[in-house]
Amino acid sequence: MTNSVLSTDAKCLGWRFAHLAAIAALSLSLFGCGLLPTDEDPTRDWSASRLYSEAKAELNDGNYQNAIKLYEKLEARYPYGRYALQAQLEIAYAYYKDGETASAISAADRFIKLHPNHPNVDYAYYLKGLANFQSDLGIFSTLGGDDFSDRDPKAAREAFEAFKELVTRFPQSRYTPDAQARMSYLVNALASHEVHVARYYMRRGAFVAAVNRAKYVLENYPQAPALEEALAIMVRAYDAMGMPKLRDDARRVLEKNFPNSVHLAGGPPRRPWWKLW
């Protein structure tokens, strides 16, 4: 009887050891396959200079998300010093190249706020303008639709303001010529947007709203190509509202600035300057 009990206990003990061994083996296997969490970070002992150089290499290779992660680690571990300062600026560029325009704008704004007198702050303004410019390149994609009156090209305006700040504060910056060219493009785009909204209101008989949009072009974008059509819209809107004096005033301005305008002959509106197809 005693031998039988001992034999049973020995079997149970052996089964338990085998079970524990199997669990241990499975755990090692899972760790080896990366299925269980690990705190191992290959960059944990890297210096600030190595983190920066590795991030820069990833940036140059087009691996923007990897670069962003390394820049974030650099600033978190070494928040002071030239590497962290440079990382704050370059992470904005990495976000911009990765298409994360909101993060790029935020990073550029942060750099401007923290380092308003930094020698490279002009680049931060330029990046902010580029990010806004990129996010609103679709302004013309809305022009073919029927109703875009509620669509505000906010990013285009903010891009213009960022470029304007750059051009005004840093006229000798190497980024200024490109910023000026983009400002010219944005002025034309914004003016065209307003004219399209005015035309939309004209089609729906909202003549007061059409006049207000056209007047906005006159007051804010006097050099834009869309000015001609804005004046023509004012002439038609005032005429539709039975306001001959204001109609004639608008027509005189149109005649003076665009003596050969097709609108003066009563012909069809010209193809918009921005429409290439």
Averaged pLDDT, groups of 10, the chain, 277 residues long: 46 49 49 51 92 97 97 95 94 96 96 95 97 71 44 83 96 97 92 94 96 95 92 96 95 94 66 40
At which residue do the structure tokens 């600030």 appear? 48
What's the CATH fold of domain 193-267?
1.25.40
Q: Are 87 and 75 in contact (CB under 8 A)?
A: yes
| Confidence at residue 2, expressed as pLDDT on a 0 to 100 scale | 45
DSSP state letter for 171: T
Number of H helices, E strands in the chain: 11, 0
Between the alpha carbon of residue 129 and those of residues 47, 91, 94, 121, 226, the distances in Å are: 33, 15, 15, 13, 23
Helix (H), strand (E), coil (C) string for 199-242: HHHHHCCCHHHHHHHHHHHHHHCCCCCCHHHHHHHHHHHHHHCC
| Distance (Å, whole) CA 191 – CA 189 | 5
Which residues contact residue 77 at a Cβ distance below 8 angstroms, ignoring those fewer than 6 apart? 48, 51
- The CA-CA-CA angle for residues 124, 73, 134, to 5°, reads 35
pTM: 0.70
pLDDT at 10: 46
Alpha-carbon dihedral angle through residues 55, 61, 66, 71, given to the nearest 10 degrees: 20
Q: What are phi and psi of 229, to 5 degrees?
A: -70, -30
**Residues 92-129 as b or e (16 or more Cβ within 10 Å = b):** bbbbbebebbebbbebbbebbeeeeeeeebbbbbbbbb
Residue 15 burial by Cβ neighbours in a 10 Å radius (0-12, 13-18, 19+):
exposed
Q: What is the pLDDT of residue 31?
A: 45
DSSP H or E stretch at residue 255: helix 244-257
Element (H, E) at 244: helix 244-257
